[in-house]
Amino acid sequence: MANKFSRRDMLATGAGLAGAGAIGFPMVAHAQATGGQRQTINVRAAAEFDVIDPAFRRGPTDGNVMRVVYQRLMSPKPNSSELELDAASEIKQTSPTTIDFKLKPGLMFTDGFGEMTAEDVKFSFERIGLPPKEGAKESTYKADWLHLVGVEVKGKYEGRITLAQPRANIFDVVIADGSGCIVSKKAVEQRGAEFGFKPVGSGQYQVASFDKQKGAVLRRNPAYKGTRKGNFEEINVRVITDSKTADLALRAGEIDFAVLAPAAAEPLRNIAGLTVSDQPSIAYVWMGMNMEKGPLADLRVRQAIRLGVDVDQMLLAGYNGKVPRLNTALPPQIMGHWKEAPAYKRNVAEAKSLLAAAGVSNLKLKLTVLNQPEYQNMALVARALLAEIGVTIEVDAQPGGTYWSSGKGDAGKNLELYMARFNAKHDPNFVLQWFTPGQLGNWNWSRWNSSEFDGMFKSSDSETDPAKRRQIVMDMQKAMDKTSAYVWLTNEASALVHRSWLKPASVPGWADWQYADFSAG
């Protein structure tokens, strides 16, 4: 498959580039046949597969495959978060709580499971949103279909979705996303648990083979009826958990596309045949303080800590300086993002005086972080910086199994400082939901108990006027800023690394890839 350079060529190239101050790795990638001739592409998945079933999916590895195996009523246009019709020929919000839809006729499920009807839509949504029937499992994504009353079948292709309460984001976050995938009712009932790795959908690709640890092979679905047919006959989704290995696989030509952390993608920038492009992500990373714990209950102490750290230096250590700084909860791509949020600069003198005013000296705090290099490094830098204002920090780097429960329940009451990273979606309420009082003891690790914030949250959730909603969302961010319990760090960035002839596609933020729109160009 790879064109072999002669050893002399490689030594010469390697030596030349090494002399140019490069790292000393051989700076060549093994060339592939050009894109026009390629029928198969190899894509890297960073986590193992679990279940390709909308009701029980686990992570983006499952999700990305899911969205090309199944159709949805509406789905995002290529490389955009704007929606277009997919399985539906018509869809209308007929009242604040009802949505009428009409399916296109002739959408066929694979493996001989027949045509898609409104029954399948009803089945797909209700199995997620409604309490499960006898013996069935409850879906992990039930919260996505919150307030679903039911789906009424009005004809072979027509139906009506009824909600108990209006939901402003129902289209973006639910109907056009994972929980809106339409499965074949017959196939689910027939295949049971096996459906998770032998899925039946009507999308552009079908799953030809599936292995949890190795990966999945997707083959183009000839029966797909739509305008966005897949450009490649076969897409090999290879699971490579270690980013170092992904780096090497890219160099060796065994992988054509991967999304790496910008620091990890650095050495690949100068390799012939590979293109590296930096894309901002929609995550939100911050250092938080437990507002109920000891001295942290005092606003001045929290302000002192915010002024004692230097976010830019932390980002330099954690991400090689390759990520944009974030100053508010909402990443810039999301509606309602507070552009004028203050970017706090380090001020040792003021921090010290705030601490003195609060009557606090020799403060000792524990900083809990996930034991990945970015957070550990940022924590160590924060530790050094805060030592200069008289605060002693103990870094507690936890592995995944314990980290994710460190802010919950009773353990959460003892949390002091922490760093967290959440994934966002293109909806402000999705991003801000974790900071409401309802999430105390669950994901509200700063233990912020504000009924005012809660009120704003609820009203923005059902506010259908975009301008009004934007205002409420702004106010919510301002309220968060006033607490000084959140030191915003970054919305991260991803580096896309791919063969130069390959054009990958994704909804902005590069969390939800669009395999069907990958093209050779």
Partner 1 sequence: MNLLANVFTTLRKVCGTLTGAVGLVIVLLVLGCAIFAPWVATHNPDALDVMSRFSRPTAAHWLGTDHLGRDLFSRMVHGASIAMQIAIASIAIALTLGTSLGILAAYLPARSERFVLIVFDVISSFPSLVLALAVVAVFGPSSTIVVFIVAVTLVPHFGRVARSQTLTLKSAPFLESERILGASWGRIVFHHVLPNILGPLVILASMDIPVVITIEAGLSFLGLGVRPPLASWGTLIQDGYTYISDTWVPVVVSSVALAVATLGFTLFGEALRDAVDPRIGREH
Partner 2 sequence: MQADTLRYLTSRLVTTALIVFGAMLLLFTLSSIVPGDPTAVLLGPQASPEFSKRFISEMGLDQPIHIRMWRFFSNVLRGDLGTDVVSGRSVLGMILNVIPYTLVLTFSAITLAVVTGIPLGIFAATHRGTVADNILAFVSVAFIAVPGFVVAIFLLLIFAIWLNWLPVLGTSQSGTLLDEFRRMILPTLALALGWIGFIARLVRTSMLEVMGENYIRTSRAYGLSERLITYKYALKNACIPTITILGLGIGRLLGGAVLIEIVFARPGLGRLIYGAISERNYPVVQGAVLVVVVVFVLVNLIVDLSYSAIDPRIRHNTGSAGAVG
Distances (CA, A) of 258 to 14, 63, 246, 300, 521: 24, 16, 7, 44, 17
- Angle CA 25–37–247, to nearest 5: 25
Pattern 78-117, binding to partner 2, x per CB under 8 A? ----------------------------------------
Q: Which of 429, 422, 438, 397 is nearest to 490 (CA)?
A: 422
Phi, psi of 45 (to 5 degrees): -110, 135
Task: Pick what 33 binds: partner 2, partner 1, none; C-beta below 5 to 8 Å, kind-dependent.
Answer: none
* Contact flag: residue 414 with partner 1 (CB under 8 A): no
* Contact flag: residue 313 with partner 1 (CB under 8 A): yes
Q: Which of 210, 266, 263 is nearest to 238 (CA)?
A: 210
Q: Which is nearer to partner 2, 164 or 411 (CB)?
A: 411
- Angle CA 344–350–354, to nearest 5: 110
Among 316, 440, 479, 520, binds partner 1 (CB under 8 A): 316
Task: Pick what 473 binds: partner 2, partner 1, none; C-beta below 5 to 8 Å, kind-dependent.
Answer: none
* Contact flag: residue 10 with partner 2 (CB under 8 A): yes
Task: Pick what 10 binds: partner 1, partner 2, none; C-beta below 5 to 8 Å, kind-dependent.
Answer: partner 2
Measured distance CA(447)–CA(441) in Å, rounded? 8
* Contact flag: residue 399 with partner 1 (CB under 8 A): yes
* Contact flag: residue 31 with partner 2 (CB under 8 A): no
Task: Pick what 380 binds: partner 2, partner 1, none; C-beta below 5 to 8 Å, kind-dependent.
Answer: partner 1
* Contact flag: residue 380 with partner 1 (CB under 8 A): yes
510-514 contact pairs (CB < 8 A, 24+): 510/259, 510/279, 510/281, 511/60, 511/281, 511/282, 511/283, 511/423, 512/60, 512/63, 512/64, 512/67, 512/76, 512/177, 513/60, 513/64, 514/67, 514/68, 514/76, 514/78, 514/79
H or E segment and range at residue 45: strand 40-45
- Angle CA 464–470–475, to nearest 5: 125
Contact 453, 481 (CB under 8 A): no
**Piece of the chain touching partner 1 by CB under 8 A; list 218-226, 228-236, 311-319, 475-483:** 311-319
In the complex, least distance from residue 293 CB atom to partner 2, rounded to whole angstroms: 19
Residues 35-64 that bind partner 1 (CB under 8 A): none
Among 25, 141, 344, 443, binds partner 1 (CB under 8 A): 25
* Contact flag: residue 30 with partner 2 (CB under 8 A): yes
Contact 76, 68 (CB under 8 A): no
* Contact flag: residue 246 with partner 1 (CB under 8 A): no
Task: Pick what 396 binds: partner 1, partner 2, none; C-beta below 5 to 8 Å, kind-dependent.
Answer: partner 1
Instruction: Kindly state the tokens that stand for 175.
Output: 């109907």
- Residues in touch with partner 2 (CB under 8 A): 2, 4-5, 7, 10, 14, 25-26, 30, 48, 50-51, 56, 58, 137-138, 140-144, 192-194, 196-197, 209, 211-215, 217, 236, 238-242, 244-245, 248-249, 251-252, 254, 399-402, 404-405, 408-409, 411, 422, 434, 442-443
